[in-house]
Each structure stands twice: as structure tokens, then as C-alpha cells.
Amino acid sequence: MPSIITEFERLSVRCEIGAAIAALAPRNGTAILESAYGNPRFSRYSILADDPVDEFKWLSHSDGDAIEALHEATSRLFGHQSQEVQERLGDYHGVAEPNGPACGWIGYFAYEAGLGRGDAAPVLHRHSPAKLAHLRFYDTMAVYDRLENRWYAAGIDWPRSSAQSGNRPALRDRLRAQETRLRNIAERSIPLGHESSSAPPADIESNMSHEAYCRHVARIKGHIEAGDVYQVNLTQRFAIRSQLSHTEAYMRLRNISQPAHGALLVHDDYAVLSSSPELFLQLDGRRVITRPIKGTRPRTGNPAVDRIHRDELQTCVKERAELVMIVDLMRNDLGRVCRPGSIRVVEAAAIEEHPTVFHQVATIHGHLAEGRGWADLLRATFPPGSVTGAPKIRAMQIIDELEPTPRDVYCGSIGRIGVDGSLSLNVAIRTMIHRRGVFHCYAGGAIVADGVAEREYEEIMTKASGMFRALGAGPQDPAHARDVEVSIS
């Protein structure tokens, strides 16, 4: 199979990242993957793209395997017969600079995409979102390197055998267009949505009352006592009607949360907004990284109070036990596709400061086995263990029994699959879906044997606070939110 030439070129332009995002955010087809905060080893690049050349939708498990269908779509793009497409996009050998992301698919896999494949097949999946996966293929991207405070342009030079070779501008023209646009944005645009700007007041409606949540916690603890599971991640969905556009909401959200693995995906009838702090999978070459989060405490801005919260999280036996369970689960998942002996827990329980919270995070490295690629890695690990529980399959079954609505994008994964076989996906927490004037916001947390329902509920509200504030719902007490189901499917 012929190589596909990719380029990663430094641009001589200065443009504030917020201005660039504000300019592209209103456009249908825009995909933004933002790394605004956190350790630059894991969250260095922000990607802005808005001119997709293809679209992939996976609507039902009955349609077959999403990953195989994605291979077929890539095959059509590059003009190869489907039987020539191997198990991995990595069979396309790009020659991008080693220090920059390559173009490819950007989008999401919904949580429910993991309910009907492989050893997850016994899961009930009585709920299903409108789309189990939705990705678009981009052959040109603007890339902001926050470590260097510099812009780059990435692009693909289409082979002559591809249908795109005669339909797309030349690679050099596309790269120059990225620079020209950024220069024009820098001259005229003002970033939107700072937290100080006003937002219309909004009401919160929940798919689960406080009383129902407490009952579900009791049922989960019953399952734990019976030996069915060790931990279950219980979540709820909030609906907030708002006059804000998805652009205004995202600009406010990013200024509040400064996401390490944020995202904005704009489609003609809905938008996905994420301020996720959590890295699900990063694959560069054969090196795999995952960074599960378990344990949250609020940041108040008061140094003395924040020191207490940080120390409490660091010494909490319960929170540490939750993380240890998920680390073991992720090591087991990675063990299916990584070289034996290569999986290492680099950090067992680091405390990370985020703009609104403290998190307890583990870092796990592995080395992908020969003959394995991103598709094998995703099959072995999806959905992320930090949002299911342990053991994973039984926890997913209990989740499906208790949660009244599909999780959709939330607890799935948003990110990029590069044409060079690289992979970068977040865990889609702190994530909202905007459709027809309604923002669906989600939050949840792990329930273990000694969990206290009231404390767990408080943690959910801490996690959701940034989204509530972004939508003008912050002053309300979500504990008294109306228990109303809003259908916007």
C-alpha cells in the first residue's frame, strides 16, 4: 500500500487561541480539540479544523462493527479496495514531523458504542443514543502548540489514486490558507464568553431526583455486599434551557475550566462541548498512555481551604482504593494488546490542580504488541474503566438498569485518529450536548462499599459546577433541581 505524505509546518503568525476558537466555533463542521491546561507531556496541542472531506456515522450495533466500518471509509477516501485495508490505520505510513499531530478522523464514540461488542455483548443496552459514533475526516488542520506558543499547519498530500486528489486544493495552498486565516483573525477578532460576561439565568432539570439517586446508591451497595461488583460509576443528566449559543457556552466553559482535553464538535443539528480533564488513550508509535482519574475535591480560591481539600484528597483511603481498582482494570485491558511485561504504573496517585477542582490521577504506560494498532487498543479498553466500575461488564449492566437515559457522548470518548496510526482520545466527562436550545450536562462518581450517598451527590455537583456556571445556572442549588425528563432526541 503506498505511503501517504503528510506535513507539519511551522507558521509565522501570532494569533490568540481564544480568538481563533471564537471565529471557527459557529461553523458547521468545526472540530476543536483543546489542550489549555495540565501537564504538556499529555496535553500540549490544540487542533482547529473546519473543512471535512468525509463523514462517518455509526447508528446501531446491528450495522456491524464501527471500527471495521471506519476502515472501509478510510479505504474509500484513499482509493484502495476494501480487501486491502488491514486492521489498523497505521498501515498508512505518514511522514509527518515526529513532534506534531497528523490529520485524520476527529469525532466521538458514544458510551453505548461499547455495549454490544465482544465481551461487552451481555450488557442489556436498553437505551441507545441517536448516534453511537460520529467522526469527520480532515485533511488540513491548524495546530497550536501551547508549550512553544506557536502555530503550525498540518495537511495530507492526497495520492493520485484517491478520489480527493482532483477535488481538493493542493497541499501547499491549503497550508497557506491556514496561515492567512489566522492572520486575519488576529487582526479583527475579540475572544468571547469570559466568565464576567452576563449569561441569561437558567433553570436546571434532572433525569434523577435526589431521592432516586440515594436509592440507586443503596442498590449499588447491595450489589457490592453480594459480591457482584467492587465499584460502580453512577451518573445523572441535567437539562438546562438557555438562550446561549454553543459558541458562547463553549467560550465561557473554556474560560472557567481551562480544559486539559477539551473539545467542541459542531454539527448541523447539535454540538458537543467538553471540558474534560482526563486522558483516556494516547498512542504515538507503539507507546500507549492512559491516565484514569478517581477522587475530586473543590478548589475555592482560598489558599488555606484549598490546602485542606488537597490534603484530604491525598490522604483519603476510600479515594485511593477507588483509583487502585481502576488502575488494575486498565492494566488488565491494556494487557490484551500490549507487549507482555511492558505495562507500568508510572504514577500511582498524583494530585493534580485544575481550575475548579483537585483530582487524583494515575499514569499508566504500555508498549503495543507487534501486529496491534489503534483499533485493537480501542476494542480492548472501550469504554473507559474510570466511568464504568469494576468488574467492567457487570458494572455496565448495573448502570444500564439504574440510569434512566442514555449517556450518549458522555462517558464515551472524543478525539483524533491520525492517518499515521496515532490516537488521542479523552474521557468525555464535563461534557454537554446542545440541541434545539437545550444543553444536556452530565456528572457522576464512583460508588464503593463505604460510600455515603450525600457525599457522593456533593461530589457530582462539584464536578458539574463549571458547566452550570457557564450556562448561568450556577447560583441555583442543583440539589433542589426539578426532577423532569426533557426529551430532545
Active site residues: 278, 294
Q: Which residue has the cell 504515538?
A: 284
Are the C-beta atoms of residues 20 and 142 closer than 8 Å to each other?
yes
Helix (H) or strand (E) holding 45: strand 45-49
CA dihedral defined by 311, 312, 315, 319, rounded to 10 degrees?
-130
Which contacts (CB < 8 Å, 24+ apart) does range 128-131 have? 128/60, 128/406, 129/406, 129/407, 129/408, 129/409, 129/489, 130/59, 130/408, 130/489, 131/57, 131/58, 131/59
CA torsion, points 25, 28, 29, 31, in degrees to nearest 10? 20
Bridge partners for 105 per DSSP:
137, 417
275-290: buried (b, 16+ CB within 10 Å) or exposed (e) per residue?
Answer: bbbbbbbbbbebebbb
Judging by DSSP bridges, how do beta strands 104-109 and 344-353 pair with one another? unpaired
C-alpha cell at 479: 440539589
Q: Decide if 368 contacts 423 (C-beta within 8 A).
A: no
Is 196 buried (19+), middle (13-18) or exposed (0-12) by CB count in 10 A? Answer: exposed
Could you tell me if 306 and 69 are in contact, meaning their C-beta atoms sit under 8 angstroms apart?
no
Q: Is 1 helix (H, G, I), strand (E, B) or coil?
A: coil
Contact by Cβ (8 Å): 106, 45? no
In sequence order, the 6+-apart residues with CB closer than 8 A to the CB of 308 are none
- Identify the CA nearest to 47 among candidates 77, 66, 20: 20
Q: Are 49 and 30 in contact (CB under 8 A)?
A: yes
423-426 and 279-284 strand pairing: antiparallel
Cα-based distances in Å from 156 to 41, 77, 182, 428 = 25, 12, 19, 28
Asked if residues 406 and 112 have their Cβ atoms less than 8 Å apart, the reply is: yes
Contacts of 455 by beta carbon, 8 Å cutoff, 6+ apart: none
